[in-house]
Structure 1
């Protein structure tokens, strides 16, 4: 449980916060209460709270001064201020004191629960990340360069969101740093000769050895991406010049040895740009402005320009099965179909005939993506995939210890069984008197106009209370749950070629077809049309010869 300390000089309000608010539904428990800032500091030293909920104006020592001293004691403590209107400006000055939120008096219990729930979630995440980082760092046996390449590939392709601690354990947490810019270079060639692909990758990695902030990742048999960390005060021209020299030397060496030529493009991206977005932008840029490292350019016959149509087999063979797994995993978990789910997992590794087959970094990246997708699928059903930090640590460390595709698949098969079991038991355990009628209403009325307000009216709750309590119990908002339920139903209907997408949208409660497209892509990563084509292709692949 997350420990809470309540501080307020008004006895009635302090007691109400301690005794009348059900903190347990958001995973919190009150470990102490104080009537002024000085007493709160003494209690904080004794109880070591995770979150302090405090008034601003109090005798002896006010809330802002107390917050300064508490944060000096432990910077990880989250502060939530409860302030009257006239005190609000005063409380806002404490933004640099780890203040996590402000709730205006008179206090609305639902608003307070929502604010503190965010702080609770952050505390749990930090605990997990800290423990996971330490265990991962001490137990990694998988080649660190291999793991770095796998993570970079996944970040660029948007195929998985591994824990922050995993990125930090191999020095890649900067990939998600929203305050620093970064550079991205794409290097391409025709993937006609696998040996040439391996040579290019080896030579490029060799030239980047020692540059810990530059990571080379093979995207496919004909493309390598290089990500380059740039600190906020870095000189962009120097970074670009370094990569230009690297690729120019590589291109000249290959041209001299076999007439083989490369083409590349480099761009800097501002702080806050997601790697996936950067890769999408750079991949689609027209040929003009390409970096041409060799003086003679890239005029080799048949070379594919960046932004030009790519040769067949160019993209990663693992991408489509992963997208299919992401789309179908929630439905298969809900149905308890372990066999079909693991069949989808195996399909992600079934690319023996692809140009990029048997690439250790690809195998590792696929496994990381699969595990992330499965864990997210369990969460989308409103359940936690792991029973605690220790189990999550065991899961990730067990995966990164594997050294072969067979080992990775065997490890994932165990977690498919575990996640399916958690989904079953979680569904049974969560069908309490509060959630059961909500899920029943969604199941019966998803095809009609269904809102949080209409469900609340049926169950005689206020919409705010219904929404806040549902999210506190399940981890997902009620609106997201409704949309996910509708999308899951629509996936079954899309297998019927006689139904148009407009008709499917209407049957699932969407009068607005573009909004149906938006929700479907949000929850599955593809449009309804793309999913239908993917299903059609999968059905043909599974048809006996």
Structure 2
């Protein structure tokens, strides 16, 4: 965690900033300030994860500082330093959502313990919510098992709306290459939902962040409030984090068990972003009404060519471009329609290249766009588009010629040796120096399963061995083999073996 320390006494500031225990606790002091006014400027520059502040200070005290912060960064945890007699100040701090209080005089352990407690609390919340999306979003887990998982945590099943905030493709600013981009989006979204008085369960995907809103969190019968919230999310990402995003909105779903369908609906929304442009709000219910048949055909054509591009299939690309050419002639498409299609196809091809870890050439990207915007002849535009796509197809075909079996074998070696660690497809892809989307398709093609299923199976097999050979409880084994959630482990174990962990240990152990 990044810590900002605020206290009017320089001795205390220097003492807190110089604590040797910060490094061991995984924390960094990013700055110190003598009062609230000075701290506000430093918050913008240092972007801390936690504020450690005195209450009574000149110029601007800790309470006034907290009031300002709550209006701009409601998600920022604040730990107050206070004297025992400052009861009225402490009561105001509670109203402002103080994360903790530390009374003066204090010991170094008091400070470190309070910060670690806040860090662990945030970590547990993120893990729990990611587990929720992992289980509820798995189509292979039955509704009965999902309901059982909810009941184990005292959670009620209910209606919800799913929002998916995805990074827009901005050429020259590939935020997917920025490891902090999604964390920045998530923080911005959490700030917006909290400021609107809503509780959203969030989880990161490969290019965006899901936000699940239980229906009790909003009152209007139509989706106008959700659309307004989506617009605030786009604005917050742009103003707070300088990121361009679009938001897809699912229908109102009747149960958390319908999360896979909600995810599919937001995916459809993102497909139509090409037609509406960046920073779009796309509601699944409204797509049929706002998208014309001509635009639907254009989108289908782009998706077909993108699929062909992924295979390096040159003849199919020629035929598709020819088909688009004749359809545009038959419907009397305008120059603007054709330009719109060509630019959309170029942007989609760049996304496909990035899936394979190929950085688009900046000069070529600018030149092809300039040509499309300046050309007046349909045939010239379509020929240029075809040449451009065929060149990209060659690059992908060259990459595909590398042995996929070798890459998959190396992936399996990593899983076998490191299954107990926090292993993700992105981590493995980075290790192998390939794009994670390409690796995902490769694993599915060669193994008939996705990465997560293979990893879970490996962990279950290791758990079976530990159950029979080691005197450990089921939850201890779950954590030992890499599961963050013991209930999820139990569900998958029974799904795989037909027994609960304890049943398996009793039945199979008796055979030894």
TM-score bracket for this pair, using the shorter chain length: 0.3 to 0.5
| TM-score, length basis structure 2 | 0.37
Structure with a larger share of its residues in helix:
2
| TM-score, length basis structure 1 | 0.35
Q: Identify the structure with bigger relative contact order (alpha carbons < 8 Å, sequence gap 6+).
A: 1
